[in-house]
């Protein structure tokens, strides 16, 4: 399985010019990645400028580049999407819109949204189902907070989150699902999770997934780690069998740093 490295730019940068520069410099540095797929998740407003038009080979799943050049293992992702296709939902972006733009992935259920906008497990599930119905690959974020961790509730939280997020996901669509274990206490804190601990969480998630679907499905589902990933610690996660990639926030905004992270994935 290729390693999946997801750049979550969050609410950055503040101008299209900066966004373009960051995107272009990454694209230039990260060519011919054979073992890695890189997903750039900029704010919605920049997606249009980064897309590969549908008519070019770059849009194909095979990763052929513009005019036949191999530009990429690069894919576009959104940071969220709504659970309806269209209609009177002011401010929302639908999975149909993203799909039509050439976006492949969408992050769903990020802890910042769960907290700020009170996104519940049920809302995340509704988004997952709709995203899948439009052919998007959802990246479902889950993880415990500091207090839950201290109280030994981690597994209970993970079980509830994964079970609800995957409710009614048809067997035929499960191969598009990506899961990201992101302990909330590790996000943006510089306090990354020990690789062993991250591995334990991913193994637990696979156990739950295998009960819902099958052992094979659980083995094949990509599970990423996210939370204060840097070029220094990326390898520690990636060398663990069972951690299939990384969701990178802060470090994905720094070209050199993110390049190093991706390169460390590409040698594993």
Q: Which residues contribute to the site for ligand PGA (CB under 6 A)?
A: 8, 182, 187-188, 226-229, 247-251
CB nearer ligand PGA, residue 97 or residue 261: 261
**Residue 117 CB: number of other CB atoms within 10 A?**
10
CB nearer ligand PGA, residue 78 or residue 248: 248
Contacts of residue 10, Cβ cutoff 8 Å, sequence gap at least 6: 43, 79, 112, 249
The least distance separating ligand PGA from the CB of residue 180, rounded to whole angstroms, comes to 7
The least distance separating ligand PGA from the CB of residue 229, rounded to whole angstroms, comes to 5
The CA distance from 223 to 177, in Å, is 9
The least distance separating ligand PGA from the CB of residue 193, rounded to whole angstroms, comes to 10
Determine the residue with CB nearest ligand PGA: 249
Catalytic (active site) residue 182 = yes
CB-facing half-sphere around the CA of 53: CA atoms within 13 A: 4
The CA distance from 150 to 56, in Å, is 51
Write out the E strands in 43-98. Answer: 74-78
Catalytic (active site) residue 119 = no
Catalytic residue among 110, 112, 119, 144: 110
The least distance separating ligand PGA from the CB of residue 57, rounded to whole angstroms, comes to 31
Taking each helix axis from N to C end, the angle separating 154-165 and 121-133, rounded to the nearest 10 degrees, works out to 40
Task: Name the residue with tokens 């991913």.
Answer: 202
Catalytic residue among 37, 112, 144, 182: 182
The CA distance from 135 to 95, in Å, is 9
CB nearer ligand PGA, residue 19 or residue 71: 19
CB nearer ligand PGA, residue 126 or residue 180: 180
Omega before 13 within 30 of 0, i.e. cis:
yes
Residues involved in catalysis: 110, 182
């Amino acid at each position: 399985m290729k390693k999946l490295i997801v750049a979550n730019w969050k609410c950055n940068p503040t101008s299209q010019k900066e966004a373009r520069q960051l995107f272009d410099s990454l694209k230039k540095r990260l060519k011919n990645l054979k073992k890695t797929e890189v997903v750039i998740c900029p704010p919605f407003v920049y997606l249009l400028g980064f897309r590969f038009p549908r008519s070019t080979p770059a849009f194909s799943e095979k990763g052929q580049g513009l005019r036949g050049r191999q530009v990429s293992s690069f894919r576009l992702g959104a940071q969220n999407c709504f659970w309806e296709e269209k209609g009177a939902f002011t401010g929302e972006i639908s999975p149909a819109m993203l799909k039509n733009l050439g976006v492949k992935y969408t992050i769903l259920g990020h802890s910042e949204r769960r907290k700020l906008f009170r996104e519940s497990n049920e809302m995340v599930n509704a988004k997952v189902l709709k995203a899948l119905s439009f052919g998007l690959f959802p990246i479902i974020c889950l993880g415990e907070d500091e207090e839950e961790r201290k109280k030994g509730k981690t597994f209970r939280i993970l079980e509830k989150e994964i079970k609800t997020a995957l409710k009614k996901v048809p067997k035929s669509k499960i191969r598009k699902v990506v899961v990201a274990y992101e302990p909330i206490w590790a996000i943006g804190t510089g306090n990354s999770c020990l690789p062993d601990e991250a591995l334990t969480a991913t193994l637990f998630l696979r156990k739950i997934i295998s009960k819902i679907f099958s052992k094979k499905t659980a083995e094949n589902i990509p599970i990423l780690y996210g939370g204060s990933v840097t070029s220094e610690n990326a390898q520690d996660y990636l060398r663990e069998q069972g951690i299939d990639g990384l969701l990178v926030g802060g470090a994905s905004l720094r070209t050199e740093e993110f390049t190093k992270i991706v390169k460390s994935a590409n040698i594993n």
